[in-house]
Structure 1
């Protein structure tokens, strides 16, 4: 099973390299509040590593979690940022769609 990462913070979030094995870039979606910070971190990651800069999209916390929990594979994001904790209903939706190994990381207030 692919391991996916959820990044959560009240104000700021960042990514943790997830399972973007078949794709050549990590795909991150989520919070518009966290977007500027995660974009800056993604750009720094691209500049200082041998990997391509991750693609970061601002979809909102709920929109990002909806995309994240829709399934695993190349057509789904590897990481989502949220300005809140993941809801029980979202964890259940993830599990229903085969996303069972979620790592939630709280970065700050």
Structure 2
């Protein structure tokens, strides 16, 4: 498997795969295609059914990341976003991506964002 660490952190792989993005690279749209390729390689090689994306430490998400996650969903993988900020939830609602990507959050996330 290729190096994934330059795009995201891999915490668990399998039918349920858990990743987190590295905020250092979230503002670089030139890595979008490579990031998508790495994610699709990951989910395909581990028969992933659900991709959980932990956004706990991510304050701002570039549109290219949302495009990558939508492409993973169109690939047939359920995508769940954990701990999105209130601002990100607003963006997802405005763009109707909240109909495509499952959003999970709790009151603690609301209080800290």
TM-score (norm: length of structure 2): 0.30
Higher relative CO (Cα under 8 Å, sequence separation at least 6) belongs to 1
Q: Return the index of the structure with the highest Cα Rg.
A: 2
TM-score (norm: length of structure 1): 0.31
Normalized per residue, the structure richer in helix is: 2
